[in-house]
Structure 1
Amino acid sequence: TPVAETFDTKTVLGSNVSATGVDDGGRTSPVTQVRVEEYASTRVRPLLPYVFFDQTSTDLPQRYRRVSESVREKFSLENFYNLDAMITYYHVLNIIGKRMQDDPSSSITLTGTIDESELSLGTGLSQARAAAVKDYLVSTWEIEPRRISIQARTMPESPSKSTDDDGRAENRRVEISSSNPTILAPVSSNDTMRVFQPAGIRFAPSIDPKVPIASWTMFVTDGERIIRSFHAGEPIPPSVDWRIDEQALLIPRSLRELKYLLVVRDSNGLVVPSATQTIPLNHVTLADKAGSTSDKSIDRYSLILFGFDRSDLTPANSVIVDNIKSRLSPSSTVSVLGYTDRSGADDYNLRLSEQRAKSVARALGLPESTAKGLGENLPLYDNSTPEGRFYSRTVEVLVETPRK
């Protein structure tokens, strides 16, 4: 007899959720608090030169930031202080527009592409997607149309796998290229880096008794506002991982605890919340460490766009490596960490991330012992979007230098 038929609708459904700490390597530990420590930092964020589109659509998705004329006049890359790579990326067209305004001799090429399921629509769809990007740069940033060339093709020259939804979404894009390296150069800023220990929280949701449900939602809040939520239908997963620094901007210094709970809606429409639980926050600010002889700066550099199944450095990544080498001091300690996205088998991703980390370490003239592959244990960014997966396929170089 199916479980649904044996479940008495008068039975009281209970929901619960527990939390443990999880590090970049996927190792778990009890979480009694989250330590949030600040460090002076130089942050170098690569600019992904792709704009992604929904299936069969030529409209720029709403997640790409538009600016008004008044905001455009005040737009400055100096305002990208303390913003992570994803927030920076969603301003990709504004960053390119600003840089093209500053350099009237520069030009770009926009290449529209489609995924395998859109092949029947031909390159007209590719052309229209590139035209949508061009229209924004021309109408908002007043870039002369002649400085923006359009090309159209079917699949990208270096496509993602077309056998799953993730790969197809990654192939629906406009690729941006320029002979002027400054147009697509990484965005650098002097930041205050916040390091969360543990790096992530692994939530384990559950219901009792185990019966079919309609949906579940996990909330992390500050008591009033939602900081992060996870939502899906049947079944409830055994665990959900949250990398805390994805929502760092929503966790101010004044916040002393995180609250979390699970809300389940059963097949009869009954909403059943779990008890709200808390995790204390322990903030250690730069001011707290003023005068300390043990403080350090942590500079963070990211390398992306490795070739599919490849670990060798692209020319763009070689430029970043040269930049890192020029900033190292004899007192610096360097860690090279490789990450991947959720695509592919866990053991394969772990090996590939390690190969890429070792490739970067060698290019920096460092021993391979400084390199470590972490695979997809705790992805750096939300993998539900194409850009999140691209930015998660990265090698991060952390340079720690004692502060004098």
Structure 2
Amino acid sequence: AVHALLVQKSVRSNILYNQKRMDGRGITDLRPLSAEVGLLPVVHGTGLFQRGETQALVVATLGGPKDMQEYDNVCGLNKPKKFYLHYNFPNYSVGEVGKITGPGRREIGHGNLAERSVAQVFPQDFPYTVRCVSEIMSSNGSTSMASVCGATLALMDAGVPITSPVVGISCGLVTDETGKELILTDIIGAEDHFGDMDFKVCGSKKGITGFQLDLKLPGIPIDTLVRAMAQNKEARNKIMDVVTNCIPAPREEVSPNAPQMCVVHINPDKIGALIGTGGKNIKEITESTNSQIDIQDDGSVSILAQNKAVLDEVKRKIDFFTAEAEIGKVYRGLVKTVKDFGAFVEILPGQDGLLHISEMADYRVNCVTDICKEGDYVTVKVVDIDRSGKIRLSRKAALEDMDK
């Protein structure tokens, strides 16, 4: 205990009175910075950010609406999140061994700070759900701020159109009993341990997106925080240059490894037709194409498919089940019922029309079954749709169009 107190006193006095930091840097100097993207070949987006011995590898993964994370807020209500960031701090990052367990207080707190800071620039109209995972490869202070920088790199590499890059840095403080104080930029782990403050601030070029103040003092003057914010901003600008030199803006398209997604809009009255009896239609589409479909009450249909070809096939099937009959259009329909006066033909899923016996051919037809029977397919043209939605069909008109 005595040795620890002597070390603490020596470190603090060297910083405060001699302005000598443990790693030899100046008071406002940053550790060496580096940034890389696209390191892993298969994932949707990756970013590796390093500040001195602190290194964070962040992986961004794109998913569909069903991949949103649900959580209970203070009121007990479920509120799904389209963007979330998970932070992992394995033992090897500080040269130790130990059991790999569930997330602890550190993982939850640091991940929450990084997530809130980056979420401010996440586009709400982006159709994908995005999960970022920050793996701390090596640690010597400010791993949460490295996670913010790495998440920015990974999101831009994945093609997520964030409104602005976000970076973060931590400032420290050393004081004595006389009121003398010194603000440190980019503190290492030992300076965090022996110092009086850990002030993490994240932001873009437009402003601050998140911050957290950890104090060992009973209080701190406002003007000290103001000076710390100014010092922090200067450091963030330098980090921003490193990040934007690595990747200036989000990629124009999402990663080719990412699933393809789009949102189509259908008539809300057609939702039942798309789902089908007992979910028959929607199940057929998802199972045959190995895709995900999410339907909202307003008629918005989100599609998540493996590639563009599958996406186009899903859209074609949705159009088929939700299409509405158009006057003048020719259809190939299934004869559902035969009557003396004509036949009822299903031209679209759930949409039948009457093919009157007088519209079956350009000559007199004595018996409907001479032209078609139940289960037959016939080519017909929609000639009229009345106000109640009843459809009138003509095989004669369809044949005339085909002869032209």
What TM-score range do you get, normalising by the shorter chain? under 0.3
Question: If the length of structure 2 is used for normalisation, what is the TM-score?
Answer: 0.22
Question: If the length of structure 1 is used for normalisation, what is the TM-score?
Answer: 0.22
1 or 2, which has the higher helix percentage?
2
Which one scores higher on RCO, CA 8 angstroms, separation ≥ 6? 1
